[in-house]
Amino acid sequence: MAARPRKKRGLCPNLYESNGLFRYRHPVNKTWHALGRDKQEAVRAARELNSILIPSTQQLINSILAIGEKTIADIIDAFKADIVPNKELMPRSAQELEYRLNRLESDLGDMSIRSLSVEQVASYLDLSFKGDAYKQHRSVLSQLCQFAIVKGWLVENPVAPTLSTRQSQRIRKQRQRITWEAYQAIYQHAEEWLQIAMDLAIITLQRRSDLLRLKFSDIKDGRLYLVQSKTEKHGDCARLAIGLGPSLKKVIKRARCTGINSPLLIHKQPQRILTGQGHWSAVKPDYLSRSFSKARDASGIYENISKEILPTFHELRSLGGLLYEQQGWSKAQVRQLMGHTSDKMTEHYLKGHDTRWTQVDADLILKDQA
């Protein structure tokens, strides 16, 4: 085990030297950052970092005496009470927001909101996060500051200018698209339940979470009925009655014949049955994604592709849309099946139902899997 770097005389706080190499220890998240072998440059950089990352004496005094100052922890508490309940977030989104708020409170909670500068925000985000995590935590921190402005606790949003520090970096994930040939290769390495899920994804063009909620009882009068969870609060486009074309019928028949007594179209036999977590044969969203990634990697199709842009299960939705267009469907028809808003949307009231359903077809012609 390597010896811990020793603090030497003449070095400022958080600056350490070991074997001629100077390193800075972030006072908030305790990460280490190399500053090279030039002592003067390292000391100068460490002092500047300390001035940004370490609260001043006056800030600490105000925090202790509570002289009309609101801390970031105070803002987060108020934000959770006043704003979060009105966001009407889906469970997964609410969980992710809670995680990011807790992370910000852990890292910055004791700081006065008025003392938060652009430099501090930029340094904190740059040293603490990368890629999508940077984008998401910056967004939440910006929302907190904007909320503080509305409350009169802050004059300007110090997070807004930090966007320019990452404009040269493509934060949005640019996933590699899946071709039909790649789909077939991945398909050969997938278990039967995953093959059924993949076929349902490209035929119905529905999201992972909606596919996993589909039940055999949702099939009525030659149609598969579903309410899209992501757009459930947006009205007509959230309710679909998908016609059962030959390909979809074939997949549903295969799902019925797995030998597992399950009410769900996508199901599997677990290694051990757990109670109190939905039906025992249900597949969790994360497990579906991991299983698809495992089959994708086993296929060898993307072995030379960077991990950050490897296609996920969600990309099957895009592949299905492309295949429909190649078979002569219009973009309006594809959008309609996806549940997106369209001027050509058809509305129909079902007998015995008070809600409106959009009737759409799903009849993608799939070649027999090799």
How high is the pLDDT of residue 9?
59
Range scoring the smallest mean pLDDT among 56-70, 168-182, 280-294: 56-70
Backbone angles phi, psi at 198, to 5 degrees: -65, -45
Contact 241, 360 (CB under 8 A): yes
| Measured CA distances, 170 to 115, 132, 141 (Å) | 30, 10, 20
Tallying the residues shown for the chain, one arrives at 370
Cα–Cα distance measured from residue 89 to residue 95, given in angstroms and rounded to the nearest whole number: 9
Dmax of the chain from CA atoms? 84
Could you tell me if 231 and 345 are in contact, meaning their C-beta atoms sit under 8 angstroms apart? no
CB 73 within 8 A of CB 110: yes
| Cα distance between the two ends of the chain | 52
Query: For residue range 183-192, what is the model confidence (pLDDT) as tens digits?
Result: 999 999 999 9
CA angle 349, 235, 335 (to 5 degrees): 90
Structural domains of the chain sorted by starting position, each given as residue range(s) with its CATH number in brackets: 9-54 (3.30.160.60), 56-166 (1.10.150.130), 180-362 (1.10.443.10)
Per-residue pLDDT at 348 exceeds 60: no
The larger pLDDT score, comparing residue 159 to residue 176, is at 159
Predicted pLDDT of residue 192: 96
The b/e string for 127-152 (b: 16+ C-beta within 10 A; e otherwise) is: bbbeeeebbbbbebbbbbbbbbeeee
**Mean pLDDT of the 300-325 span:** 87
Q: Which of 13, 11, 5, 6 lies closest to 39 in space, CA to CA?
A: 11
Q: φ and ψ at 179, to 5 degrees?
A: -90, 170
pTM: 0.54
Chain position carrying tokens 């994360």: 286
The token pair at 195 is 């093959």
d(CA 124, CA 137): 10
Task: Encode pLDDT of 218-228 as tens digits.
Answer: 999 999 999 88
**What pLDDT, on a 0 to 100 scale, did the predictor assign at position 68?**
54
Interatomic CA distance for residues 143 and 160, integer angstroms: 10
Residue with tokens 């809670």: 98
- Band the pLDDT of 67: cuts 50, 70, 90: very low
Q: Is residue 71 within 8 Å of residue 116, measured between CB atoms?
A: no
Q: Is residue 168 exposed (0-12), middle (13-18) or buried (19+ Cβ within 10 Å)?
A: exposed
pLDDT at 168: 43
Nearest one of 72, 233, 228 to 154, comparing CA atoms: 72
Neighbours of 113 (CB within 10 A): 21
pLDDT at 114: 83
